[in-house]
Amino acid sequence: MKLIKNVNRKDIEQNHLQVGHTLYTPATGTVLDTIRQRNQAGKATFLLASQPVFAESAQVAYLLCEYINVIRNNDAKAIYKSFLCNSRIEALHGAIKISRHNALIAYPKSDRDVLIYDQEGFYADLFDPLSLGPDKALVPGVFFYSAWPDLLSHLDKGNAQDKAAVVVCLHNGFPVAALNRIQTLCKQKQIILIINVAHVPEGVAESTLAALVHTPDIVVWGEALTYHQVPFGAFSVIDDLYRPWATVATCFIHSSTYGGNSLATSLVRDRILENLSVTPEMTCRLESIADDPQARMAAFCTYINPITPLICQAAKLDLDIVSAKGSRIRIKQFAQETISLIDCIGGAGSNLRGYNPDDIGSVLEAHQPATDYWQDLARMLSSLTGLGHVLPAVSGACAVDIAITLAMLANSEKSRILIFKGNYAGKSLISINGTEEKFDREPFAPLYWDVAYLDIFSAQAESALMQELQSGTIALVWFEVMQGNSLNQVPSRLIDLVFANKKEQGYLVGIDEILNGMFRTGPFVSYKRSRYEPDIVTLSKGLSDLTFPISAALVNDDVYYRAKLVNEALVTRFEALFLNQLGAHIALNGLTNALRSEERVSYAGSLLKSKLCAVAEQSPLLQGIRGEGLHLHLMLDMQKFPLSLFGKDVSELLVSRLCLSQGHVLQYFCRLLPPLNISDDEINELAGGIENALKISSFSLFIFGLKHIAVFLFLLLRTQLKSAMARLVGRLVWFKA
């Protein structure tokens, strides 16, 4: 297999990467046709937030691995696992996270510093917007260099055990000899080298990777792989370095709602294939991934993560999807039989109007690349929230990153961020500060230095909150009104205290509406607009209309202009960086249609909850129903046998599997997120399906659980053995290189 040179890269070779410019070009007919065809064919674009087992995702991860091996011309192929996300920035964050996790294991007491060579100055402001230095930056422990000799000097003199990674952002004209000196030094000191190829044309990336002395540890990819039209990023990690995320405990430690979506990955697949002469072996592999669920699972385990597909299999979420439309997903079962499921996952709540709305085709037909759809979308969002400035983003984590950055710029004289325990905000290196769970944060330290986590359900919650609010150090209070992890409601009395003291104490208030907003809990936002006026709001999931990755950070005039006074260039840059007019057009259409049925959402949520409460009263397994609107959770009675024996996570997976097999209801960990336009008949079918699934006796559930746990353990053992063999081969290749 050889690289094809002189491929037509007209759209790709253009430099869209200068600081302050958007990452995207106007949509071409090719991309519009791709989305139209997918819509008409009923393709599912989003499903889970944890790298869904889509054929396109497995194909892309396989191809990225092949691409590196072909470029390197390796006799024995190295195995790379790829994490698929939404931008080069998210990809770099993820690459740094896995590097720090490896460093934590190898050197538990190390500083885990990261050295970044970035001649273009693309990342420095994004990591340290206030120029406070590596200790107090929003992403601390990161040192930037615009000249490679300075990086080499620091790397040569410093203590190797204090460093987690070195990042080289390639640019046109970067001397390969210098890169080889850096790589050799990293190899000697056992420091991970991350090579970021997102800022150079593909030809430069290929020639540079080919000329490396050693096999690269991690490669970061960017938007060129989707023709600079659909949000995408990825990082490919040599198999041996992926170990920290290849366990049952850690396989979900990094995730992204939109990451690995099948629209972006279908474009990436086709883009990579343009650069490769396809051998019969490759064709056969790609076809088997598309057509054979077992081959797809094997590829996913080899090239993405060895554990997540096993958990999907345990919950029967290793779906062979035939079509997805509205509230329903049709899947292929044994002997080519198909069954229809009521979907309650929908891209982790991204299903504003269900799968493949009928009018998407009309939107694409009418789309004019020169039209500013973002302006109309921003105007509508401002009207619905009362916040005058809307900044584009490509994912929930991206929106939170921008929101927190603007807040800290606007309140630059203060440093502390106050987070309520139980909150979830994302998994990028900035948004992760708003995720209270220590397990999700600690492997990736150092993180932002001044974050306080308040237990809002303790007996002393009010006094502890007042002590924090009156300390004079709080720059930002950040929370979800209904916490996405637990569906616990933040007590109204605490929210009242936050807003009552805001003006006097001078802090800002940000509310995360990524999961709750867009009518998910009833009204457009989950807080009462007549009662509360936050300074900052983030929106995502529903804006995608289950079709296109998009999100937004909204701020009021005060935050916007104060932030501009401190770092005008960065604020202006954020207004353009992730601007995508096609995404804005799709979101605008979805929101316009959703507004016409706002009352319907509240009615549907009340109807579904009442029916599920009736089911809970009759079922010995259920304790009750938690949540609001169309974001509900089946609360299992963990005191009952055999749930008490299995534990919460296993029990919820088993119930999810029962709901699918016995009730034809698709849900994950007992979370119900149906589309907002679900019909009365579908609500009845949904509730009836869950009722039917939960009629199982305690003894039958015990046997059911033992059987599936045994199958999972067998699959886990088999996968670990295969992974160990692949890792051994990978080490041989690594040492040989």
Q: Which residue has the higher pLDDT, 406 or 155?
A: 406
**DSSP code per residue over 462-502:** HHHHHHHHTTS-EEEEEE-SB-TTT-PBPPHHHHHHHHHTH
Q: Which residue has the higher pLDDT, 649 or 82?
A: 82
Q: Does the pLDDT of residue 737 top 80, yes or no?
A: no
401-428 residue pLDDT tens: 999 999 999 999 999 999 999 999 999 9
State the Cα–Cα distance between residues 440 and 420, nearest whole angstrom. Answer: 15
pLDDT of residue 337: 86
Q: Are 694 and 615 in contact (CB under 8 A)?
A: yes
Listed residue (217, 109, 105, 220) closest to 165, CA to CA: 217
State the Cα–Cα distance between residues 145 and 168, nearest whole angstrom. Answer: 10
Instruction: Say if 372-595 and 598-696 have the same CATH topology.
Output: no
Architecture field, domain 372-595 = 3-Layer(aba) Sandwich (3.40)
Q: Which CATH class is domain 598-696?
A: alpha beta
Segment 161-176 shows an average pLDDT of 93
Tokens coding 265: 């990955």
98-115 residue pLDDT tens: 999 999 999 998 999 999
pLDDT of residue 581: 98
Q: Assign 723 a pLDDT band (cuts: 50, 70, 90).
A: low
Segment 496-500 shows an average pLDDT of 98
The single residue listed with the structure tokens 């009845």 is: 684
State the Cα–Cα distance between residues 113 and 161, nearest whole angstrom. Answer: 9
| Percent of the chain residues past pLDDT 90, beyond the cut | 83
Q: Does the pLDDT of residue 726 top 60, yes or no?
A: no
pLDDT of residue 715: 74
Q: Assign 15 a pLDDT band (cuts: 50, 70, 90).
A: very low
Q: Assign 725 a pLDDT band (cuts: 50, 70, 90).
A: low
303-359 residue pLDDT tens: 999 998 888 887 788 889 999 999 999 999 866 789 999 999 999 999 999 999 999
State the Cα–Cα distance between residues 734 and 737, nearest whole angstrom. Answer: 5
Segment 601-606 shows an average pLDDT of 91
Residue 363: Cβ-neighbour burial (10 angstroms; 0-12, 13-18, 19+): buried
pLDDT of residue 85: 96
442-495 residue pLDDT tens: 999 999 999 999 999 999 999 999 999 999 999 999 999 999 888 999 999 999
37-52 residue pLDDT tens: 999 999 999 998 887 8
pLDDT of residue 12: 35
Q: Does the pLDDT of residue 699 top 50, yes or no?
A: yes
pLDDT of residue 603: 92
Q: Which residue has the higher pLDDT, 600 or 627?
A: 627
211-255 residue pLDDT tens: 999 999 999 999 999 999 999 999 999 999 999 999 989 999 999
Q: Does the pLDDT of residue 6 top 80, yes or no?
A: no
State the Cα–Cα distance between residues 150 and 170, nearest whole angstrom. Answer: 16
Q: Assign 527 a pLDDT band (cuts: 50, 70, 90).
A: very high
Listed by start position, the domains of the chain span: 372-595, 598-696
